[in-house]
Amino acid sequence: MNRPEANSRLSSYKSNSINTQDSRVRRHEVTIELRKSKKEDQMFKRRNINDEDLTSPLKEPNGQSPVQLSVDEIVAAMNSEDSERQFVGMQSARKMLSRERNPPIDLMIGHGIVPICIRFLQNVANPMLQFEAAWALTNIASGTSDQTRCVIEQDAVPHFISLLTSKSIQLAEQAVWALGNIAGDGPIARDIVINHGVIDGILRLINDETPLSFLRNIVWLMSNLCRNKNPSPPFEQVKRLLPILSHLLLSTDIQVLADACWALSYVTDDDNNKIQAVVDTDAVPRLVNLLQMDEPSIIVPALRSVGNIVTGTDQQTDVVIASGGLPRLGLLLQHSKSNIVKEAAWTVSNITAGNQKQIQAVIEAGIFNYIKQVLENGDFKAQKEAAWAVTNTTTSGTPEQIVDLIEKYKILKPFIDLLDAKDPRTIKVVQTGLLNLFNLAEKLGGTENLCLMVEEMGGLDKLEALQQHENEEVYKKAYAIIDTYFNTGDEGAEQELAPQEVNGALEFNATQPKAPEGGYTF
């Protein structure tokens, strides 16, 4: 490989504009990656099997009285002209579908009870029958997509929407529960629910008198209305939920707070206009405040929301900083749960991909002390995000800020150690950061000192080893760094550095300068 080729390749790494653009593209990619991760505290569908939360209007404990009828007898009773037999059949069907284990959903669907239940939903003269039918359909809709689709295709949604105005609060709550299960099935089902006017219906239900159990179900439904992409929900509709979701961040109930935060995390995981709509509701200071809660089920979605917001414009990121977000992130970088540390590091990396004033705020908050700890001892996924925080700073920061990383925060050694990572993407992040550092050192006349530091920290050995890496971009970057900054031989010696020309270990005979007095500086 000749020198012009190496310089050409290096120029692509040295361009601040290209690096900054890459950082912002990466911020979106990481958002997608984190969105795909399992959310152990969030259920998209919920079956109604807990009688302490919601019992039949007859106050008959579900599950304690076994169903005496066979499925055929249940269906026959439901098809009866006698209202009492209809109710017994409907209640028996609901009890079967409320079994904690292996409810016979497909069996019941196969016997045609869904259209019967939907007919009973419309029997306003018999609220108890409506309630049992709504409960049964809720549990059918809690199943697979095929089972949920069966409920949708029988036109249940508009009847559930109508029940939101019922005088019976139990019936309205069961309708909310059913609609939450349907909306939670995916974007197509969600949009069917939205297009039938659910948002008008649930906004009317929320007031200071709404019982807590009912409010929890409403907020959970709201979160499912905001969830899923491809396509995203119709924003002009979802936008109407944002003021109440922001207000609900002042709640003291864990479940309400968690679902409100998840809803906002879904909305902010999109373009800057949607992020701004959330910012405009004054939600940011409330989300930041929730980061200090001692409750992971709240911290995770609140942190996800804050992390999404700082992927937006510099002005949107400034709102998070002005709300006291950085000290909270510093604490979360020390959290006992590794997934929280990872997302806190991801959020910091989004901020350091911003402007120099924002990077200075990160520095002044002492965040890099914790980033160093993550690089040294964190879970690998958190280390990867911490590496991005460093590399983004070397891309966008001032010379003084970048020198601070090395001299004040001693970040170079744990950063270099990640060259041993098994993940090629992480290696490339570190290599890009190193190239940025060498580019700055060159401008400041400190290349020799930086070479010595990197070599004494084991970086040169790691870069040599990476020249044998199976990933082409990794070994080419490793070669470029060595070829440009560590090779002091003649052009013939440079040719020998090329990976395609070596067999076995590489040898470097560069003279090792002594460390300067007073430490390593540029």
pLDDT at 309: 97
H/E/C letters for each residue in 16-29?
HHHHHHHHHHHHHH
**308: which 2 tokens?**
């999404």
How many Cα neighbours within 13 Å face the side chain of 308? 31
- Average pLDDT taken over every residue of the chain: 87
Residue 291 lies in a domain: no
Which region among 102-106, 169-173, 490-494 has the lowest average model confidence (pLDDT)?
Answer: 490-494
Give backbone dihedrals phi and psi of 412, rounded to 5 degrees, phi first: -65, -45
pLDDT at 505: 36
Average pLDDT over residues 50-69: 52
pLDDT at 506: 33
Residue 247 lies in a domain: no
Give the C-alpha distances (Å, rounded to integers) separating 201 from 176, 222, 393, 467: 9, 11, 48, 63
Q: How confident is the model at residue 57 (pLDDT cuts 50, 70, 90)?
A: very low
Inter-residue long-range contacts of 12-19, CB under 8 Å, 24+ positions, other chains counted:
13/432, 13/435, 13/436, 13/439, 13/477, 13/480, 14/435, 14/436, 14/439, 16/395, 16/396, 19/395, 19/396, 19/432, 19/436
Which region among 78-92, 132-146, 427-441, 501-515 has the lowest average model confidence (pLDDT)?
Answer: 501-515
CATH number at residue 175: 1.25.10.10
Asked if residue 11 has pLDDT above 80, the reply is: no
Residue 473 vs residue 519, higher pLDDT: 473
Residue 98 lies in a domain: yes
Residue 78 lies in a domain: yes
Name which of 457, 351, 379 is nearest 411 in CA terms.
457
Contacts of 17 (CB under 8 A, 6+ apart): none
Residue 463 vs residue 61, higher pLDDT: 463
Q: How confident is the model at residue 58 (pLDDT cuts 50, 70, 90)?
A: very low
Contacts of 50 (CB under 8 A, 6+ apart): none
What is the percentage of the chain residues whose pLDDT exceeds 70?
82
Residues 491, 497, 498, 500, Cα dihedral to 10°: 130
Asked if residue 164 has pLDDT above 80, the reply is: yes
pLDDT at 28: 52
Asked if residue 165 has pLDDT above 90, the reply is: yes
Give backbone dihedrals phi and psi of 202, rounded to 5 degrees, phi first: -80, -30
Residue 137 lies in a domain: yes
Q: How far apart are the first and last CA of the chain?
A: 29
pLDDT at 30: 52
Q: How confident is the model at residue 13 (pLDDT cuts 50, 70, 90)?
A: very low
Place of tokens 């549990």: 139
- Residue 231's Cβ-count burial label (10 Å; 0-12, 13-18, 19+) is exposed
pLDDT at 517: 44
Average pLDDT over residues 166-170: 96
pLDDT at 306: 98
Q: How open is the CA angle 155-160-162, to the nearest 5 degrees?
A: 110
Average pLDDT over residues 117-143: 97
Tens of pLDDT, residues 458-514: 999 999 999 999 999 999 999 999 999 998 754 444 444 444 433 443 333 333 334
**Strand (E) or helix (H) holding 461:** helix 459-466
Q: How confident is the model at residue 47 (pLDDT cuts 50, 70, 90)?
A: confident
Give the C-alpha distances (Å, rounded to integers) separating 287 from 307, 365, 504: 11, 19, 55
Give the span between the Cα atoms of 204 and 169, in whole angstroms: 13
Q: How confident is the model at residue 100 (pLDDT cuts 50, 70, 90)?
A: confident
- Residue 36's Cβ-count burial label (10 Å; 0-12, 13-18, 19+) is exposed
Residue 378 lies in a domain: no
> Which DSSP state fits 5?
H
Residue 287 lies in a domain: no
Residue 82 lies in a domain: yes
pLDDT at 64: 44
Tens of pLDDT, residues 380-412: 999 999 999 999 999 999 999 999 999 999 999
Average pLDDT over residues 219-246: 97
Give the C-alpha distances (Å, rounded to integers) separating 370 from 180, 253, 260, 325, 341: 40, 31, 29, 15, 10
Contact 416/465 with Cβ under 8 angstroms? no
Give Cα 273 distance to the centre of its chain. Answer: 19
Asked if residue 51 has pLDDT above 90, the reply is: no
Name the residue range of residue 114's domain. 43-55+69-196
Residues 451, 452, 458, 462, Cα dihedral to 10°: 20
**Strand, coil or helix: 166:** coil
Q: Is the peptide bond before 231 cis (omega within 30 degrees of 0)?
A: yes
Residues 382, 481, 359, 405, Cα dihedral to 10°: 80
Number of domains comprising the chain: 1
Average pLDDT over residues 110-130: 97
